[in-house]
Copies of this chain bind each other. A is one copy, B any other.
């Protein structure tokens, strides 16, 4: 199956909205073994849509259209499709009832324009929208599937997941592709590739696909099986081997997040946690509480941005600050120990560094960060050197601290 995506919307052309729909469709289709080879964005204009439909190339067998189905502009895509396929609109009774129920449930008055959303082309399969009032449409004409969906992302995603993917799999007899993803932190894509070269060769030689998916500070590794879920056991064995190769980097799988993984480990060990933050200024605490169950192990934090607060709140000695500087191994350790006691927690993470853009020296350049972890019986510190972007340095510090803690909790 080779697909083309047509996104309709002036807001996309003037850059007011970023076309995340097309990315999502590309990503999801690649997961089921289909391929998007072209994405076009045009304005909410009948002539433009008609021309796009006329100019479809013969190298694709599926067109997915998003946008132009709202109640205020429903005349555009729908009417153009009717004209193109030489059919006409008629009220689709199940859709009308669904729309009426939708408004009744929300106690909102129904406008004539909402009723008209139930007027749909005679000559197509209606795709049920459980998230809004604009139905999707599926045309099967001259060996080509043409699908029209609303542009609101969660409505589009809902209809794609519930109505479109199952039909496409059946129609194009798509092979059962199965993916599983592992998450790594603290190692760049090329270093990672170098380090796991033999493992990668082995995965590929056994007939699996491997993709590196990098994002700032993280690299995901996705293994693809072309035999479906029956290979899950084999993939898990590959990842087990990978975990032995890079235990400091591999922190989780699939939809897991790093704060969630750390949270599970803390819960398992019945540890409470706190943080004491200088250069991250609260980002580490906020990342920990981004996990909804955090109140089971997180009680509180200290943000000690100034030297005075390091002393006042976390009992860091003034001598250490004067002798070693606020960004030093000694101060990181005293911060973690002092705050662990002050907060009354089992584990405490400290961060102190030069986030930038100013404040660096030759000896202590922008991007230098010390992180310390205080446990019941030991406190350890590590030095990191990040780049010159303030926001990125805070994020890298936060990810590095959480992943390092994850590793230590696994081996304790």
A contact residues, range: 35 or more
Contact in complex: A39, B36 (CB < 8 Å): no
Contact in complex: B26, A37 (CB < 8 Å): no
Q: Which residues from chain B contact A343 at a C-beta distance below 8 Å? A: 309, 312-313
Q: A264-308: which have CB < 8 Å to B?
A: 275, 277, 280-286, 288-290, 292, 294-295, 298-306, 308
Contact in complex: B19, A23 (CB < 8 Å): yes
Contact in complex: A303, B306 (CB < 8 Å): no
Q: Which residues from chain B contact A286 at a C-beta distance below 8 Å? A: 280-283, 286, 394
Known contacts A19-B19, A286-B394; A14/B40 CB under 8 A: no
CB distance from A367 to the nearest CB of B (A): 14
Contact in complex: A300, B292 (CB < 8 Å): no
Which one, A41-49, A64-72, A228-236, A246-254, is touching chain B? A41-49
Contact in complex: A18, B15 (CB < 8 Å): no
- Kindly state whether residue A165 has any CB partner on chain B within 8 Å: no
Contact in complex: B302, A306 (CB < 8 Å): no
Complex CA–CA separation, A384 to B259 (angstroms):
28
Contact in complex: A312, B344 (CB < 8 Å): yes
Complex CA–CA separation, A115 to B14 (angstroms):
37
Contact in complex: A41, B42 (CB < 8 Å): no
Complex CA–CA separation, A28 to B300 (angstroms):
44
Q: Which residues from chain B contact A24 at a C-beta distance below 8 Å? A: 15
Contact in complex: B14, A27 (CB < 8 Å): yes
Complex CA–CA separation, A364 to B267 (angstroms):
27
Complex CA–CA separation, A38 to B186 (angstroms):
40
Contact in complex: B42, A13 (CB < 8 Å): no
Contact in complex: A290, B38 (CB < 8 Å): no
CB distance from A220 to the nearest CB of B (A): 10
Contact in complex: A13, B41 (CB < 8 Å): no
Q: Which residues from chain B contact A306 at a C-beta distance below 8 Å? A: 295, 298-300
Q: A19-36: which have CB < 8 Å to B?
A: 19-20, 22-28, 30, 35-36
- Kindly state whether residue A98 has any CB partner on chain B within 8 Å: no
- Kindly state whether residue A358 has any CB partner on chain B within 8 Å: yes
Contact in complex: B23, A12 (CB < 8 Å): yes
CB distance from A26 to the nearest CB of B (A): 4
Which among A36, A55, A304, A309 has the greatest number of chain B C-beta atoms within 10 A? Answer: A309
Q: Which of B48, B283, B299, B312 has a CB less than 8 Å from the CB of A37?
A: B48
Q: Sample 29 A-B pairs with CB under 8 A, ordered by A number.
A: A12-B26, A13-B37, A13-B38, A13-B39, A14-B30, A15-B25, A18-B19, A18-B20, A37-B43, A38-B48, A39-B39, A40-B40, A281-B282, A281-B289, A281-B301, A282-B283, A285-B303, A285-B305, A286-B286, A286-B394, A292-B357, A295-B305, A298-B305, A299-B308, A300-B303, A301-B305, A303-B303, A308-B344, A313-B342
Given contacts A12-B26, A298-B305, A312-B343, 14 further A-B contacts (CB under 8 A): A13-B37, A17-B23, A18-B23, A277-B282, A281-B294, A282-B289, A286-B286, A286-B394, A292-B358, A300-B309, A300-B313, A301-B303, A302-B302, A302-B303
Q: A: which residues have CB within 8 A of B?
A: 12-20, 22-28, 30, 35-43, 48, 55, 213, 275, 277, 280-286, 288-290, 292, 294-295, 298-306, 308-309, 312-313, 342-344, 355-358, 390-391, 394
